[in-house]
Structure 1
């Protein structure tokens, strides 16, 4: 599934131009001002925002500030476009949390490369988190708000890691969010569902317990919330490419 980009500009010609160059690789939504864009953010899982600065009602700086201070959207990378060629304008953009600052007139190739790099970097971080057994969930955070959100969520998951029935409703309630808002937030930050995030947390905990070499595998399966050692083994192999027994043997061979 393609990433979804939101383009915000009060100039219809620029909206059409940017939509045309991005629609070949991405899904595109457009908004004519910051107010309309905020409404779209509440209704869609946006992966990247490109916004002009000079707009009516809510300008680009204010819009960026709104996005980056909102727990639901602060993880979304945002590129500001401007015709202002001053260091102060660039400083203002960085101060409100913009991830990149592109001056008009711009090269379409340069803008597309900026967008692609921002999206690619986030994919690499998410992949690293999922594959690295001892990596903390907060590695996926791109803001202080995201870090606090992931820390609170991970602490709750770790406290209830042995609960077979730990589900999205329970997690959303703990995070003081509605189920849809919570789902969108987790999916947007990690590109995986809350259920998958919990499963990865279970497997990471299992890896740590295997490394301690104090428990049998069926005990570890129970300790991390699996109903059987068989289901635990299948999930472990699917995620890490080896069985828990093979992983334990690999650890022993490294130590010897």
Structure 2
């Protein structure tokens, strides 16, 4: 993965052994911005206000251990999308099953090679990027395709329905979505950004364009009618947006789909 300055991911590492923490932070720091935590409670306190792309956590920690941390993150809609790698000294099958049961995305036994951890992190982040890009560039791929678990799938389906129900409204905005989703505006913003790498307004725009793609395939409305239906103030504005997002004009797209 190309990690230049503009795309450095933030990795939060939690372990109650300071030497392990320093070692991991030092090693991962070449590729990522690393934040250190000594226990699960510090992780929970940090992510309330700060964006994190992935969490690496030991199991055995005071206050809030790795199992409880993972459970609390995966059960909380604000954080359920954050990939979670569990580290453990236990090497029996039962503890692996436990880790996955709690919702961990990957499981690594100590001792491990730093390059193996790096590969796991890379894999999780790259897969996530591919899924997001496929959604953004493909007119017919649904929003819930970017969900990596059931909680996120339910969230995205509710969000998508809400946007579709109000799609002809040019004034459809984050405040209205936050109100209907029963989330604060900052929480909704962080959740949408974390799960899709889009701002809420970008997500609304793409949802409008995807709905337009459906209508173009149906072939019953003219382009200017579709433009109004999905909430654009002019068909030229709509056409420019569609071309920029999907790489083809609405007319070319409709023509390519004619049976």
Coarse TM-score class (shorter-chain normalised): over 0.9
The secondary structure found in structure 2 opposite 1:81 is strand
- The counterpart of 2:232, out of the listed 226, 234, 237, is 226
Counterparts of 2:156 and 2:240, CA distance in 1: 27
- The counterpart of 2:115, out of the listed 105, 109, 118, is 109
Cα offset, 1:2, TM superposition = 1.4
Counterparts of 2:149 and 2:25, CA distance in 1: 28
Q: Which runs of 5+ in 2 are unaligned?
A: 1-6
Q: How many residues align?
A: 253
Counterparts of 2:254 and 2:75, CA distance in 1: 44
Question: 2:92 — aligned with what?
Answer: 86
The secondary structure found in structure 2 opposite 1:90 is helix
Query: Which portions of structure 1, spanning 4 or more consecutive aligned residues, are displaced by more than 6 angstroms?
Result: none
Cα offset, 1:217, TM superposition = 0.8
- The counterpart of 1:14, out of the listed 2, 20, 24, is 20
1:129-208 counterparts in 2 under 5 A? Answer: 129-208=135-214
Task: Establish whether residue 74 from structure 1 lines up as the match of residue 80 from structure 2.
Answer: yes
Counterparts of 2:80 and 2:186, CA distance in 1: 17
Question: 1:243 — aligned with what?
Answer: 249
Question: 1:213 — aligned with what?
Answer: 219
Counterparts of 2:153 and 2:252, CA distance in 1: 34
- Render the CA deviation track for 1:167-190: whole Å, top value 9, x for unaligned: 000101111011000000000000
Counterparts of 1:131 and 1:141, CA distance in 2: 16
Question: 2:3 — aligned with what?
Answer: none
Q: Please say which of residues 172-181 and 14-23 is displaced more in the overlay.
A: 14-23
TM-score (structure 1 length as normaliser): 0.97
- The counterpart of 1:48, out of the listed 50, 54, 71, is 54
Preserved contact between residue 138 and residue 246 of structure 2 (Cα < 8 Å): no
Cα offset, 1:145, TM superposition = 0.9
TM-score (structure 2 length as normaliser): 0.96
- Render the CA deviation track for 1:69-111: whole Å, top value 9, x for unaligned: 1111111110011111111111110110011110111000000
Q: CA RMSD in A?
A: 0.9
